[in-house]
Amino acid sequence: MEDLKTSETWRVFRIQSELVEGFETLHDLGPAVTIFGSARLSPSHKYYKAAETLARMLADEGFAVITGGGPGIMEGANKGAKRGKAHSVGLNIEIPAEQTSNPYHDISLQFRYFFVRKLMFIKYAMAFIIFPGGFGTMDELFEALTLAQTHKIDSFPIILYGADYWKGLTDWMQQKLVPLGTIEASDFSLFSLVDTPEEVIFLIREHQRVLGNIMPKPRDTTAQRS
């Protein structure tokens, strides 16, 4: 029992260490957008290409781009951001398979604990763009929706990219959850469905306009990457 207590105590310090490193590394990041999506889609896939295009556009608008740091959609987004004019951030996670770090980060962090990593996604982003993905992507999507629904975070754009992909899920929510009363019809205002990078940029600009915020100025980080 004493060994178990010691192990659990030291785990608290490891968690604390990840929190401190994350806060110190990302504190001065500036306006940022987080992009989620599958680790399993290849560079030839349309969603990978769309993530790369969108991230480049966001970077050119002055937003840092944060991803989970791995392959697939995350790699596409980091690649686009790095070719733009803002920081490309990868928050990688230690898991047995799939999650190898992609090479397109300006800022990289490695996490052991999913909940610490998800905190960094939420704390330093002013919008979430959710590309098609699997269980991990769904986890991140519903974490954000739960926090927004319960007012644990300020409302910000939660954008689902690829209407055809998400339609089955949103239809099921509309047909099953709303009639049962487990969510409200008004909860559908928490997210938007889009099919183009331009729609994403429009929604983020509109959100900033409604709040009275000024869009960030593009930053030239070329020197930092050389």
Q: Could you tell me which of 118, 171, 110, 168 has the C-alpha nearest to residue 142?
A: 118
Question: What is residue 13's predicted lDDT score, i.e. its pLDDT?
Answer: 87
Q: In a 3-state reduction of DSSP, which class is residue 65?
A: strand
Question: What is residue 99's predicted lDDT score, i.e. its pLDDT?
Answer: 64
Q: Could you tell me which of 98, 104, 48, 96 has the C-alpha nearest to residue 72?
A: 48
Tokens standing for residue 98: 């799939």
What is the spatial distance between Cα 194 and Cα 205, in angstroms, rounded to a whole number? 15
208/22: higher pLDDT: 22
Question: Which burial class, exposed, middle or buried, applies to 215 when counting CB atoms under 10 A from its CB (0-12, 13-18, 19+)?
Answer: middle
Per-residue pLDDT, averaged over 109-118, amounts to 94
User: Do 52 and 77 meet the contact criterion of CB atoms below 8 Å apart?
Assistant: yes
pTM: 0.88
Per-residue pLDDT, averaged over 97-104, amounts to 80
Inform me whether the pLDDT recorded for 221 exceeds 60. no
Domain range list for the chain:
2-212
Strands 128-130 and 107-111: unpaired
Percentage above 90 pLDDT, the chain: 79
Q: Does domain 2-212 have CATH number 1.10.3720.10?
A: no
Q: Could you tell me which of 87, 53, 66, 75 has the C-alpha nearest to residue 200?
A: 53
